[in-house]
């Protein structure tokens, strides 16, 4: 145990404390989107003394920036969905490649057609259900 009167021990303790504090006190990061919020606030503040037309232009600029951010998020989402679909299709193809010989061996040639038919029926059923829910017909029924 280090004693307060031990200068060498205190030096070591201070170094250990310094290192521990450097690890414990990490600089906080600014919240996400802070700069955009600041720009919007500055635009609003600048608009307070400006004409109606300038204020409108600033608000429209802010709106356009927000819309562009939303659009880029939407495009990213669509790309992700497309990537998932393509990936899933290839994975299904690969799986089928291994599964078909096994199905043929166990259920014969009819099994090869029955399994995709069941899958197709499930898929068509799900899509019909989705379309039914989206259509106004479902809301008209009790």
Interface residues with other proteins (CB under 8 A) are: 1-2, 4, 9-10, 12-14, 16-31, 34-35, 37-38, 41-42, 45
Q: Which is nearer to other proteins, 9 or 125 (CB)?
A: 9
2, 9 in Cβ contact below 8 A? yes
Q: Which of 59, 34, 36 is nearest to 48 (CA)?
A: 59
Task: Collect all residues with Cβ–Cβ distance below 8 Å to 50 and sequence separation of at least 6.
Answer: 58
74, 52 in Cβ contact below 8 A? no
Least separation in angstroms between residue 22's CB and other proteins is 6
Least separation in angstroms between residue 28's CB and other proteins is 5
Q: Which is nearer to other proteins, 41 or 121 (CB)?
A: 41
Q: Which is nearer to other proteins, 54 or 84 (CB)?
A: 54
59, 41 in Cβ contact below 8 A? no
Q: Which is nearer to other proteins, 16 or 120 (CB)?
A: 16
Least separation in angstroms between residue 40's CB and other proteins is 10
């Amino acid at each position: 145990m280090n004693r307060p009167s031990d200068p060498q021990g205190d030096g070591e303790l201070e170094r250990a404390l310094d290192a521990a504090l450097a690890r414990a006190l990490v600089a906080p990061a600014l919240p996400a989107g802070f700069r955009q919020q600041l720009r919007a606030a500055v635009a609003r503040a600048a608009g307070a003394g400006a004409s109606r037309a300038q204020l409108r232009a600033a608000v429209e600029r802010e709106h356009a920036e927000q819309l562009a951010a939303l659009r880029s998020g939407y495009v990213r989402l669509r790309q992700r969905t497309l990537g998932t679909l393509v990936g899933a299709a290839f994975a299904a193809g690969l799986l089928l490649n291994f599964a078909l010989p096994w199905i043929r061996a166990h259920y014969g040639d009819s099994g090869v057609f029955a399994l995709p038919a069941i899958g197709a029926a499930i898929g068509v059923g799900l899509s019909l259900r989705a379309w039914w829910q989206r259509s106004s017909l479902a809301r008209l029924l009790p």
